Amino acid sequence: MKPSHSQQRIGPRPLFRSLAWLRICAIAGQSAAVLVCALWMHLDIPLLPLMVGICSLAVFAVFAAWRLTQPWPIKQWETILHVAVDTLILGYLLHFTGGASNPFITLLIVPIALTAAALPVSALLSVASLVGAAYVVLLFWYVPLPAPMHGETAYGFSLHVLGMGVNFVIMALLLGFFTKRLARSLRFQQLEVQRVRERALRDEGILAIATQAAGAAHELNTPLSTMRTLLPELRREHAEDKALAEDLELLESQVDRCRTILREMVAFGKAQLSQEPELLTVERFIHGCLERFQLLRPEADLALAMDQEAARTVLRTPPGLRHALLNLLNNAADASAANHSQAVALTVRSDGEWLELIVIDHGPGFTDTDELGVLGQSRKQTGLGIGLALAEATAERLEGELTASNTGSGAQMRLRLPLTVVAAP
């Protein structure tokens, strides 16, 4: 898949972070170079102006590090401004050390390379124009480098070549390391875009199923009302046939159950539209879910473990969480039944800032080829392939996560939800 034009940009924040690290390396390298030339090689360089420039860069580096800790987003113009400050300070230092004749003049390429990897063309043109202007100024306006202390041409040439070699190593390390960091950020961004696209496709499928379900619920209400009217009359007409009366009574209870499900669907839709969550303690919420699960699966042997801290937590119960938990319990009951077991375990606990709902079965477990949460795919012969997808979608909507693992005697589904989202203040 070829990335789109918008995917090829990494963004201001990764470049901002890379500039912060690069700035620290520049301060260390520039300080070492100035001190070596002045104290060891005894070159007559303007030490005070150079140290002022390096100290100014250090102060700016402290400000940039503080800016990275702030919550508000980093804008593109802000990143360009930081690149401009770095370029101007580097140009200031080069002005006092030979200008364009300094072997380290090629360090001006670094801002252009990093901007090209992270920002759009307009930002690149701005930075390239600034760097070009700085280079032109340094061609004509600079303080010449002092002559070597022995005044020998060969020694001076060797010193220049040595500077070029050091500059080459620095350029190779900087461009290799920081370009690698930016490329890694780009790969992560592309993976995130791919995950978002897959989630969008899944959500579109869920929305289509929900639309069809709403239409089917509206159409089913009429025949269910007719059946609910006729079944009591049939029971009265065949009261002497006890076997048939029991079957009709069971059928009537199932019709009532269907009508209850339809009413719950309507109530769920209203709650989803109103965006007003139900306030319940975790204990009441869990016991309400388990009561309904026992009605649906009376044969299941359910074991509950819940710590007191989690039980007292008040939930802003969002629409869909109850159905997500019931889907996980139903899947666990089916998995245990496939392994001739009725045991299902539910563990509810608090883990720091997270609420964990852990469902454990005694089934065959997962294999490496299982694709969990894929809409329309089910490991059960009678499954529709939407239960786990709906549970995963609910977890993502609540900024949580749904993970699966094997326990050795079955499988475990762990639903983790942040308390900052699901818990009441």
How confident is the model over 338-364, as pLDDT tens digits? 888 889 999 999 888 899 999 999 888
Nearest residue to 386 via CA among 195, 208, 198? 208
Q: For residue range 91-127, what is the model confidence (pLDDT) as tens digits?
A: 999 999 888 888 888 888 888 888 887 788 888 899 9
Residue 247 pLDDT exceeds 90: no
pLDDT at 25: 84
Domain boundary among 87, 109, 144: 144
Q: Are 299 and 334 in contact (CB under 8 A)?
A: no
Distances (CA, A) of 319 to 271, 276, 421: 7, 9, 13
Distance CA 298, CA 293 (A): 8
pLDDT at 203: 62
pLDDT at 152: 45
Distance CA 316, CA 21 (A): 43
Distance CA 230, CA 234 (A): 6
pLDDT at 381: 45
pLDDT band of residue 157 (cuts 50, 70, 90) is: low
Q: Are 353 and 419 in contact (CB under 8 A)?
A: yes
* Number of domain units in the chain: 2
Residue 226 is assigned to a structural domain of this protein = no
- 299 three-state secondary structure: coil
pLDDT at 375: 41
Ranges of beta strands (E only) in 274-334 are 278-281, 301-306, 314-317
Instruction: Note the pTM of the prediction, 2 decimals.
Output: 0.46
DSSP 57-93: HHHHHHHHHHHHTSSSPPPHHHHHHHHHHHHHHHHHH
Residue 75 pLDDT exceeds 50: yes
pLDDT at 156: 47
Residue 58 pLDDT exceeds 90: yes
Nearest residue to 359 via CA among 404, 320, 298? 404
- 189 three-state secondary structure: helix
Residue 419 is assigned to a structural domain of this protein = yes
Q: Are 344 and 360 in contact (CB under 8 A)?
A: yes
What is the mean pLDDT of the segment spanning 43-69?
90
pLDDT band of residue 294 (cuts 50, 70, 90) is: confident
Residue 334 is assigned to a structural domain of this protein = yes
- 74 three-state secondary structure: coil
- 35 three-state secondary structure: helix
Residue 42 is assigned to a structural domain of this protein = yes
Ranges of beta strands (E only) in 180-300 are 278-281
Domain boundary among 115, 144, 173: 144
Residue 379 is assigned to a structural domain of this protein = yes
CA 48, 54, 60, 66 torsion: positive or negative?
Answer: negative
pLDDT at 92: 93
Residue 152 is assigned to a structural domain of this protein = no
Domain boundary among 113, 144, 175: 144
Which residues, 6 or more positions from 370, have their beta carbon under 8 angstroms from its beta carbon?
Answer: 379
Q: For residue range 368-389, what is the model confidence (pLDDT) as tens digits?
A: 655 554 444 445 544 445 677 7
pLDDT band of residue 197 (cuts 50, 70, 90) is: confident
Pinpoint the alpha helices (H) of 339-372: none
Residue 363 is assigned to a structural domain of this protein = yes
- Token pair, residue 388, equals 């786990």
Distance CA 259, CA 50 (A): 83
Q: Are 282 and 321 in contact (CB under 8 A)?
A: no
Nearest residue to 316 via CA among 356, 277, 272, 275? 277
Q: For residue range 119-149, what is the model confidence (pLDDT) as tens digits?
A: 888 888 999 999 999 999 999 998 887 765 4
CA 216, 221, 222, 224 torsion: positive or negative?
Answer: positive
pLDDT band of residue 7 (cuts 50, 70, 90) is: very low
Q: What count of other Cβ atoms lies within 10 Å of the Cβ of residue 114?
A: 26
Residue 234 is assigned to a structural domain of this protein = no
pLDDT at 185: 72
Which residues, 6 or more positions from 306, have their beta carbon under 8 angstroms from its beta carbon?
Answer: 282, 283, 286, 347, 348, 349
Domain that holds residue 92: 12-144
Q: What is the CATH number of the domain that holds 352?
A: 3.30.565.10
